[in-house]
Amino acid sequence: MRASERRFPPLSGSERDVLNGFLDYQRDTLEWKCSGLTGDQLKERVVPPSPMTLLGLLRHMTEVEYFWFEDILLNRQDHFRLYSPLPDKPDGDWQDLDSHTPEEVLSSWKEACAVARQNAAAMEGLDSPAAREWDGQPVMLRWILAHMIEEYARHNGHADLFREGIDGETGE
């Protein structure tokens, strides 16, 4: 994916359309930052001692997509914990990078995004409550969408630094 291929969020439309548009833009940004690199480059730790890598980011965001849009939103665990966290490996999504090929990780992440879109679309409205509470409080779809935009935006900042450190490519 190239930067120009990212879906730009709509400038008008419903609140739901705008939130979904911004979330997809952030997802596209992560895909762009990971595109065109070798498996070894995706696994490269550019900012030691941090264990974070671009491949780890894809694994982490796969887990996050399933956690919020499947586990919390629908109280289902059909796909959750592909990589972690497990009691003995709380940061497994950032480690064991050889347990799945980069192609498998990218495919799993894209599937998680598709499942998330489908599950969110099945909710009546942004005020629809999730099936599970978070921290003892009800959670609305609107909050999950806003939180996911924030989650991607934060990690896309990491991805931008990692990509620049790997091959010098820069861009928003």
Sequential pLDDT tens for the chain (172 residues): 787 888 899 999 999 999 999 999 999 999 999 999 999 999 999 998 988 999 999 999 999 999 999 999 999 988 767 776 556 666 777 778 888 999 999 999 999 999 999 999 999 999 999 999 999 999 999 999 999 999 999 999 999 999 999 999 888 7
The beta strands (E) that lie in 55-172 are given as none
Question: Which domains are delineated in the chain?
Answer: 17-167 (1.20.120.450)
The model's pTM: 0.93
SS3 content of the chain, % helix, strand, coil (to 5): 55, 5, 40
Strand partners, 89: 86
Give residue 147's pLDDT.
98
